[in-house]
Amino acid sequence: MSKQKPSLPKGTRDFGPAEMNKRHFILETIKKVYQKYGYAPIETPAMENLSVLQGKYGDEGDQLLFKILNSGDFLSKTEKTDLNSSKDLLPKIAEKGLRYDLTVPFARFVVMNQHNLSFPFKRYQIQPVWRADKPQKGRYREFYQCDADAIGTDSLLCEAEIVLMIKEVFTLLQAKKANSLDYSIKINNRKILSGLVEAIGQKGKETDFAVAIDKLDKIGIDKVKEELSSKGFDQAAIDKLDPVFAISGNNREKLQAVKSVLQSSEVGLKGTNELEEVLNILDSFGMEVPELELDITLARGLSYYTGAIFEVKPNNVKMGSISGGGRYDGLTDNFGLPNVSGVGISFGVDRIYDVLEELDLYPDNNITSTKVLITAFDQDSWNYGLKVLSSLRNAEIKSEIYPEPVKIKKQMKYANDKQIPFVIVIGSEEIKSGKLALKNMQEGTQEMLSTDEIINFLK
Amino acid sequence: MSKQKPSLPKGTRDFGPAEMNKRHFILETIKKVYQKYGYAPIETPAMENLSVLQGKYGDEGDQLLFKILNSGDFLSKTEKTDLNSSKDLLPKIAEKGLRYDLTVPFARFVVMNQHNLSFPFKRYQIQPVWRADKPQKGRYREFYQCDADAIGTDSLLCEAEIVLMIKEVFTLLQAKKANSLDYSIKINNRKILSGLVEAIGQKGKETDFAVAIDKLDKIGIDKVKEELSSKGFDQAAIDKLDPVFAISGNNREKLQAVKSVLQSSEVGLKGTNELEEVLNILDSFGMEVPELELDITLARGLSYYTGAIFEVKPNNVKMGSISGGGRYDGLTDNFGLPNVSGVGISFGVDRIYDVLEELDLYPDNNITSTKVLITAFDQDSWNYGLKVLSSLRNAEIKSEIYPEPVKIKKQMKYANDKQIPFVIVIGSEEIKSGKLALKNMQEGTQEMLSTDEIINFLK
């Protein structure tokens, strides 16, 4: 065994206790909301057969899959001719890959368990995924996804509940009331986009249209029109979009305006009707969601969406979307099970982490860490401390004793470094009186209290 | 995209909602106890550089590491001569591997973060590991480990607290009081084993001794003696062990008996003194641990242990050890940081899962799942149900409405399949009276209650 300076694979990260506490806050919040809305947890293995993964994410995705070398003498099943190129050799020496997202494993899970599942099936899944992307700021090769999907129903209740879940997650994440995250829940419907293309007589150019209109925010109306023109949209068609670009008002007003443009498109009107129904269900719930904003320029890249699409954008932090999702029709088509419709949402943990950090929104109390440290001047005090510790733990208070009666300063430093909010100090005086010194580490104050009083105070 | 029947890589598993709920119960229990004792969470990446992993688990372990193929044109950096054998080719085409346990990644973490950590450092880590083992009943290629380690202190408080944590975990896991798990926490000390070998004049044969005596339970005294003889222990030496084999009584009595054999061995007496101190600390805590059993035949395979060793054995279920650990001295030696002593414990989640299943120890209530389903006879009732749902969720009750007012039987089946314990039924009568039917699905009973009464009842 050689001695070496260890390192981490690029694009991967360790999480220490302080980061874990913040991530825990985010993940537990999302989990709690998913459960509250009836989504049940599942987990799938990190490895999937490459036959399951390949061909699902496009050519670029196939490149970015991490492949696992077959165990043992992996060359034994290869021929000389396989060795000419990586492309030829790959399928002979690797049969498994790491999960690239949670959607394809979920589709596989549904197909393999279709006879045991009760539909509608609502599941959430919070696990890491791996992509051999070029690492850069905010982009990692291992990162968590937090997905919830409801499949086997086309009820628009699911869409409305996704809006409510998003609102609830971001409300709970703003634990510190002093600051706040200003955000929009943007909603659109793919059928509206298709309808617009149809209504202006350019059917078949849906993708070019979506790519161009998606940039409206960044480049403005004129540049979007230029791009459409360069993609072969004729001028008359482009002009027909003017009322769309001029749309304003609240969500209901916007929908009316879009409808007037879409009069000739059956699919387009189906899209507006769906969104209207989502707004109606939200009204029935009696929930106000002022953050919800119909944005008919929202397109989202993933081509498998067929109905409502969502995206959450922070408005007071410079950051891309922190949550997104939508309705799809063919989740399990690739695995021979057609017509499985569903709708899903995903929260971007790493970006949310950065947003909360920037706005200083994390709660002050560390959820996972020790609440009180017992320190002792000498061996007798330490032995006495063990009994105090026992009482604290019996009262379910997260507590520790410094493992040896070393210099108090060193014990205090430990509490400080670990951000333990309270310290009990025990010396011979304290044993005699039964009143222990309880120090508040943040405020620097100190009180003399009995063990019972300390327990009552800390609970 | 071809259609295909999807499958799972062998040795891996999906966890559906029912299994997740049970696993969640186990993992949250362990996590809660670790936190209560001041252990803080960390997480490390699934992938490590092979330079970190290789040479740490013996030759067999190196074989069982899952290796990740380099991305892109992985053959581009190879020479013709590398292609002759898998062994030559491997280091040229794979630089990363999957985590094989949590100990080596923890050691790497400690070395890389040594200047930011405050010692003693107490961390827990609950993550999956991967081994290319031959899959068989109860042995998987992906499984969770749940480790806690305290490093940078040799205080025997850590050993005593490990005993207490084990007891607390298994007390909390027996939520159903009707049944119970009978188990022993076996404890020994590697120094006692070394001392015995020294005391009988066979220094240098520690491993053979440990391997033989470890089988005492299974093969009996005579066979153990035979094995020792076959490994070159002389008869006089073997006879000196008779008082050891005859040891009985409580833990203090056993320690006294071992001491008398170990009189000539400094290291051996250090071992008995350490165990005595652990018993003393437990006494100071005022905690009774009748499950704790000194077993001087306990050896544990892993050679890096240097002090106390632990193992938890169920007595009323046929199953190997369900938890184990011990003290080590050279955690980070391989990475150039010497003298890092520590002590750790690990719980075997998969085995504990099976034990709780066999003894029917899981709590009846499903922690993660929906508590009440709202069902509706018609569209009006469904719309009314949305308001009820909103009230339930405002009261933090996990609740759902069936997404459409289909036949009540179908809605009931959904509740049944999902093991939802309560169902609210809404029809025109209910809307008129404001009293809703609350069905208890387990007992088959039904009551007419207002929304507020239902909330009070379910909270």
State pLDDT tens for residues A403-430.
999 999 999 999 999 999 999 999 999 9
pLDDT for the residue numbered A191: 95
Q: Which of A7, A25, A36 to mutate to test the interface with B (most CBs of B within 10 A)?
A: A36
Does the beta carbon of B92 lie under 8 angstroms from any beta carbon of chain A? no
Least confident of A28-32, A161-165, A198-202, B364-368: B364-368
pLDDT tens figures, A211-243: 898 888 889 999 999 999 999 999 999 999 888
Mean per-residue pLDDT, A79-92 = 91
- Please report the number of interchain residue pairs, chain A to chain B, with beta-carbon separation below 8 angstroms: 293
Instruction: Could you list the residues of A known to form a binding site, using ranges.
Output: 101-103, 131, 145, 149, 300, 304-305
Q: Is B300 marked as a binding-site residue?
A: yes
In which band, very low, low, confident or very high, does the pLDDT at A385 lie, cut at 50, 70 and 90?
A: very high
- pLDDT value for B314: 95
Q: How many CA atoms lie within 13 A of A442 on its CB side?
A: 8
The answer to whether A7 contacts B52, with C-beta atoms less than 8 Å apart, is yes
The pLDDT score that the predictor gives to residue A1 is: 45
SS3 content of chain B, % helix, strand, coil (to 5): 45, 20, 35
With contact defined as beta carbons under 8 Å apart, do A324 and A341 qualify? no
Query: Can you tell me the distance from the alpha carbon of B56 to that of A313, in angstroms, rounded to the nearest whole number?
Result: 46
Helix (H) or strand (E) holding A259: helix A251-262
Contact check, Cβ <8 Å, A9/B96: yes
pLDDT (tens digit, 9 = 90+) per residue, B329-383? Answer: 888 998 999 989 999 999 999 999 999 999 988 887 767 789 999 999 999 999 9
Take residue A321 and report the two structure tokens written for it.
């979307």
B11 phi-psi bin (left φ>0, alpha ψ -120 to 50, beta other) = left
pLDDT value of position A425: 97
Per-residue pLDDT of A123-140, as tens digits, reads 999 999 999 999 988 889
Q: What confidence tens digit (pLDDT) does each residue in A154-186 have?
A: 999 999 999 999 999 999 998 766 778 999 999
The whole-number pLDDT of residue B375 equals 98
The answer to whether the CB atoms of A418 and B118 lie below 8 A apart is: yes
Query: Closest to B334 (Cβ–Cβ): which among A3, A96, A286?
Result: A3
DSSP state of B73: S
DSSP codes of every residue in B164-225: HHHHHHHHHT---TTS---EEEEEEEHHHHHHHHHHTT-TT-HHHHHHHHTTHHHHHHHHHH
Span B2-28, average pLDDT: 91
Interface of A with B in 380-399 (CB under 8 A): 383, 386-387, 389-390, 393, 396-399
Kindly report the CATH class assigned to B183-315.
Answer: alpha beta
Yes or no, beta carbons of A8 and B48 under 8 Å apart: yes
Answer whether B10 touches A (CB < 8 Å). Answer: no
Measure CA B224 to chain center: 31
Question: Which residue do the tokens 């072969």 mark?
Answer: A232
Q: CA of A243 to nearest chain B CA: how many angstroms apart? A: 34
- Pairing outcome for strands B436-440 and A436-440: unpaired
Nearest to A163 by CA among A27, A310, A303: A310
CB contact under 8 Å between B49 and A73, yes or no, is no
What does the DSSP 8-state code read for residue A8? Answer: P
Contact A3 B335 (CB under 8 A): yes
Per-residue pLDDT for A444 more than 70? yes
Q: What number is the average pLDDT over the span A137-162?
A: 95
> Closest Cα of chain A to B394: distance in Å?
10
Residue A99 CA to residue A112 CA, distance in Å, equals 17
Is A284 in CB contact (< 8 Å) with chain B? yes
CATH superfamily ID and name for B372-458: Anticodon-binding domain (3.40.50.800)
**Among B286, B334, B397, beta carbon nearest to A1:** B334
Q: Binding site for L-histidine: residue ranges of A?
A: 101-103, 131, 145, 149, 300, 304-305
Nearest to B284 among A14, A49, A387 (CB): A387
Please report the pLDDT score of residue B434 as a whole number. 93
- pLDDT more than 70, % of chain A: 98
Minimum distance, in Å, between the CA of residue B218 and any CA atom of chain A: 34
Name the residue facing B9 among A20, A49, A287 (closest C-beta): A49
B241 to chain A, closest Cα gap in Å: 36
Q: Does A81 touch chain B (CB under 8 A)?
A: no
What is the residue whose two structure tokens read 């092979």?
B50
Q: What torsion, rounded to 10 degrees, do the Cα atoms A381, A382, A386, A391 define? A: 40
A219 touching B (Cβ < 8 Å): no
How far is Cα A426 from Cα A430, in angstroms, rounded to an integer?
6
- Mean pLDDT for chain B? 93
Give chain A positions within 8 Å (CB) of B150: 403
ipTM of this complex: 0.93
Average pLDDT over residues A2-18: 88
Return the domain boundaries, chain B.
183-315, 372-458
* Mean pLDDT (chain A, rounded): 93
Q: Is the pLDDT of residue A268 over 50?
A: yes
Predicted confidence band of residue B218 (pLDDT cuts 50, 70, 90): confident
Nearest chain A residue (CA) to B161? A400
Q: Does A20 touch chain B (CB under 8 A)?
A: yes
Q: Are B268 and B160 in contact (CB under 8 A)?
A: no
Chain-centroid distance of CA B254 in Å reads 29
Q: What is the pLDDT of residue B1?
A: 45
Distance CA A188, CA A314 (A): 17
Task: Tell me the shortest Cα–Cα distance from B73 to chain A, in angstroms.
Answer: 6
- By the 10 Å C-beta count (0-12 exposed, 13-18 middle, 19+ buried), B202 is classed as buried
Q: According to the model, what pLDDT value does residue A418 have?
A: 92
- For chain A, give the longest Cα–Cα distance: 94
pLDDT over 60 (residue B279) = yes
Per-residue pLDDT tens for B390-446?
A: 999 999 999 999 999 999 999 999 999 999 999 999 999 999 999 999 999 999 999
Position A198 pLDDT exceeds 60: yes
User: Average pLDDT of A368-389?
Assistant: 94
Q: How confident is the model at residue B178 (pLDDT cuts 50, 70, 90)?
A: confident
The interface residues of chain A toward chain B in range 157-196, judged by CB-CB distance below 8 A, are 157-158
Please name the residues in contact with A315: beta carbons below 8 A apart, sequence gap of 6 or more: A182, A183, A184
Name every chain A residue with its beta carbon within 8 A of the beta carbon of B112: 6-8, 14
Task: Please tell me the distance from the alpha carbon of residue B292 to that of residue B286, in angstroms, as a whole number.
Answer: 14
Among B2, B29, B69, B125, the strongest candidate for a mutation testing the A interface, having the largest count of A CBs within 10 A, is: B69
- Quote the pLDDT of residue A302: 63
Give the SS3 label for residue A55.
coil
**Torsion region of B301: left, alpha or beta (phi above 0 gives left; psi -120 to 50 gives alpha):** alpha
Helix/strand/coil for B438: strand
Burial of B59 (0-12, 13-18, 19+ CB in 10 A): exposed
pLDDT at residue B4 tops 70: no
Q: Hey, is the C-beta of B400 within 8 angstroms of any chain A C-beta?
A: yes
A-chain residues within 8 Å CB-CB of B284?
383, 386-387
The pLDDT, as a whole number, for residue A211 is 87
Question: In the structure, what pLDDT confidence band is assigned to residue B137 with cuts at 50, 70 and 90?
Answer: confident
Q: What is the pLDDT of residue B3?
A: 59
Please list every residue in chain B whose beta carbon sits closer than 8 Å to the beta carbon of residue A399.
Answer: 36, 38
Residue B27 has pLDDT above 70, yes or no: yes
From residue A307, give the alpha-carbon distance in Å to each of A156, A166, A332, B242.
10, 18, 17, 79
Task: Quote the CA–CA distance of B129 and B142 in Å, as a whole number.
Answer: 6
Nearest 5°: phi and psi at B331? -50, -45
**Residue of B156, B198, B99 whose CA lies nearest to B327:** B156
Q: First vs last Cα of chain A: how many Å apart?
A: 49
Q: Which residues of B touch A21 (CB under 8 A)?
A: 41
For residue A304, what are the contacts with CB-CB under 8 A and spacing of at least 6?
A328, A329, A330
**Looking at chain B from residue 111 to 140, which residues have their Cβ under 8 Å from any Cβ of chain A?**
111-113, 116, 118, 120, 122-123, 128, 130, 132
Residue B240 burial (10 A CB sphere; 0-12, 13-18, 19+): middle
Gap from B229 CA to chain A (nearest CA, Å): 33
Are B41 and A368 inside 8 Å of each other by CB?
A: yes
pLDDT of A300: 84
pLDDT at A2 over 60: no
Asked if the Cβ–Cβ distance from B47 to A12 is below 8 Å, we say yes
Burial of B372 (0-12, 13-18, 19+ CB in 10 A): buried
